[in-house]
Structure formats: structure tokens, C-alpha cells
């Protein structure tokens, strides 16, 4: 008479067989239900398994070993992921002609002609909120040109660059160099005030900056000082942070360019004045200006 197996064991066997089914070794077992009247199976005599004294145990099943180790399909080695693209520093690393460097100089250009061409400009959306265009001011033959970001509220009201609090600080900086405002030329990347003093947008910069380019070409200064990141990034055509190249001599269309902090930043961070003073002393050395003894930031 067929031996009845306990209920708990019966369940264990059923679970185990389900597991064997799932992992694809069900064929190594055969149904023994008819023999036992239980519908459960017992292990067949399969080499690795048959040697196991108690197949119905708490042990995890041992999978039969394949005769041959399956070969992994050989595939071409994966290509290394492309290195992230980093915008090169315009200088001292040679970076090829920038957007501006590719632009031809206009023969016999003058500041007057440029101002005439600009007219009551509506080329970008900043015209809608401005009061006055702030073209630029100073010596048309200046050896030193300061380029800022864009007009603020005071500049927008008066039509003159750097006349607010930051402008007063710039005037002090210029005078500390032994110069007057009338000796230098001061202008901005965009000539209309961005609302709420926000940064000018890329499209506004690209629309307005050709006029700045003509101004610089016409004045032909010995040194250009970029005040702040927007001016520096615009002229150098770089996305790098200003701290990476501040105070270094760079080149713009064959002229010496140095980027330093914007006076508005100095109003918020007075300790940075000493860094800017060091930068301005470098400019003074190139322009042959004497640093007076005891003069400090």
C-alpha cells in the first residue's frame, strides 16, 4: 500500500516543485502522485541530485551542473563615454577666432556714426522698458576702456554710464589710478536697462554687443577692463566663472584685456576691493602710471 506522506511535507514538496518549475529543472522530476495518491512528485535519478540522501529537505536544491561552461557571447568592447565638452579659456589657451574676432572692422568708423546707427534702437525687448539709451561716455581716444554689464536705474534716468553708487566707486577707482573719468571711456554690454536690474539675456547681449565691439574698435584702447562676469563672458565668449580668470592678462582682438569685479559687487563685498586694487595696479603698470606710495584699496 502506498505510503501517505504528512500534510506539511506534502505542501513542502509542492512548493519545492513549483520552485523547480520556476527555475527550469522540473524535467528532472517525475510525477509520483499516482503512486502515492498525493499528486506530488519525487526526484528522478539525476546524477547530482540522486546522490543527495534526502531530496525533500530544508536544503536549497542543487542545480545540475552543465557539461560545458556556457560561453559568453563576445561583443566588441564598449566605447568609453565621451568626455564632457569644456569651453576653452580664450587665453592663454589658444581658442581660435571668437565670434567677435571673426567680425570685420569697419573702416573709418567713429563713435558718432555708431551712435547714429544705433538710433532710437528697438532691436531687442529692453527698449520697451528703458527711459534713455546709455551709449557710453569718455575720451574717444582713451587708452583704457571700462566695460560694464548694463545701465541701472540712475544711468537709465540720466543716459550716462556708471553714475549711481557703483559708478561713484568706479570714479574713485579711476582717480586712485591717477586718472579722471574724462581720460577713460566707460560703456556697457547692453545699452538699455534690464528691468529690475536683472542680468541681460543672451539674446539681448548678442543683439546689442556688436555696437560695443564697434566702440572698442574705434577707440582702439591699449587696455580693456571688464567689470564683472557679464562683460568678461561676452567679450571672451566663455562660460567660465570670472574667478577662474580674474586678474589675468588676456587678449581681445589684439588688445590686452583684464577682468575684475564689478563695483556693485564691491559695494556688497568690500573685502574684495583689495583684489580689484591689485588688478588695477597691473593695468597701471601697462599704462605706465605710477602707483603713489601708501596708496591702498
**Contacting positions for ligand SF4 (CB under 6 A):** 118, 121-124, 126-127, 133, 190-192, 204, 207-208
Nearer to ligand SF4, 60 or 116 (CB): 116
User: Which one, 123 or 168, has the nearer CB to ligand SF4?
Assistant: 123
Radius of gyration of the chain from its Cα atoms, rounded to whole angstroms = 39
Sign of the CA dihedral running 99, 130, 160, 117: positive
**How far apart are the C-alpha atoms of 46 and 50, rounded to whole Å?**
5
Does residue 223 sit in helix, strand or coil? Answer: strand
C-alpha cell recorded at residue 152: 541701472
Alpha-carbon span 73 to 58, nearest angstrom: 36
Residues in contact with 43: Cβ distance below 8 Å, sequence separation at least 6, in sequence order: 28, 29, 49, 50, 52, 55
Closest separation in Å from C-beta 155 to ligand SF4: 12
Residue 187 CB, nearest approach to ligand SF4 (Å): 11
The sign of the dihedral angle between the CA atoms of 79, 83, 85, 88 is negative
Closer to ligand SF4 by Cβ: residue 46 or 118: 118
190/230 with CB nearer ligand SF4: 190
96 or 128: CB nearest ligand SF4 = 128
Q: How far is the CB of 151 from ligand SF4 (least distance, A)?
A: 9
Minimal distance in Å, beta carbon 148 to ligand SF4? 13
CA of 283: how far to CAs of 263, 272, 294, in Å? 16, 17, 18
Cβ 208 to ligand SF4 shortest distance, Å? 3
CB of 294 to ligand SF4, least distance (A): 42
Give the nearer residue to ligand SF4 in terms of CB position, either 106 or 121: 121
Q: What are the cell numbers at 228?
A: 564683472
Amino acid at each position: 500500500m502506498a505510503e501517505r506522506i504528512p500534510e506539511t511535507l506534502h505542501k513542502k514538496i509542492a512548493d519545492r516543485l513549483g520552485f523547480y518549475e520556476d527555475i527550469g529543472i522540473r524535467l528532472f522530476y517525475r510525477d509520483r502522485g499516482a503512486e502515492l495518491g498525493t499528486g506530488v512528485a519525487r526526484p528522478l535519478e539525476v546524477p547530482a541530485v540522486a546522490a543527495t540522501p534526502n531530496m525533500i529537505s530544508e536544503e536549497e536544491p542543487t542545480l545540475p551542473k552543465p557539461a560545458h561552461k556556457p560561453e559568453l557571447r563576445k561583443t566588441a568592447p564598449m566605447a568609453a563615454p565621451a568626455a564632457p565638452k569644456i569651453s576653452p579659456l580664450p587665453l592663454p589657451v589658444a581658442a581660435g577666432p571668437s565670434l567677435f574676432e571673426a567680425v570685420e572692422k569697419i573702416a573709418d568708423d567713429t563713435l558718432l556714426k555708431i551712435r547714429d546707427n544705433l538710433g532710437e534702437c528697438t532691436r531687442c525687448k529692453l527698449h520697451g522698458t528703458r527711459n534713455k539709451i546709455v551709449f557710453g561716455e569718455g575720451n574717444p581716444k582713451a587708452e583704457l576702456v571700462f566695460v560694464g554689464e548694463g545701465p541701472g536705474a540712475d544711468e537709465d534716468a540720466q543716459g550716462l554710464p556708471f553714475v549711481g553708487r557703483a559708478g561713484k566707486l568706479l570714479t574713485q577707482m579711476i582717480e586712485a589710478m591717477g586718472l579722471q573719468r574724462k581720460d577713460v571711456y566707460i560703456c556697457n554690454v547692453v545699452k538699455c536697462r534690464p528691468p529690475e536690474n536683472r542680468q541681460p539675456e543672451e539674446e539681448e547681449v548678442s543683439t546689442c554687443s556688436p555696437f560695443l565691439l564697434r566702440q572698442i574698435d574705434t577707440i582702439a584702447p591699449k587696455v580693456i577692463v571688464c567689470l564683472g562676469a557679464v562683460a568678461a563672458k561676452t567679450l571672451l565668449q566663455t562660460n567660465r566663472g570670472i574667478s577662474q580668470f580674474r586678474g589675468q592678462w588676456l587678449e581681445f582682438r589684439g588688445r590686452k584685456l583684464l577682468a575684475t569685479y564689478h563695483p556693485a559687487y564691491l559695494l556688497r563685498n568690500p573685502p574684495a576691493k583689495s583684489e580689484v586694487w591689485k588688478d588695477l595696479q597691473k593695468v597701471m603698470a601697462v599704462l605706465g602710471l605710477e602707483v603713489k606710495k601708501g596708496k591702498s584699496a
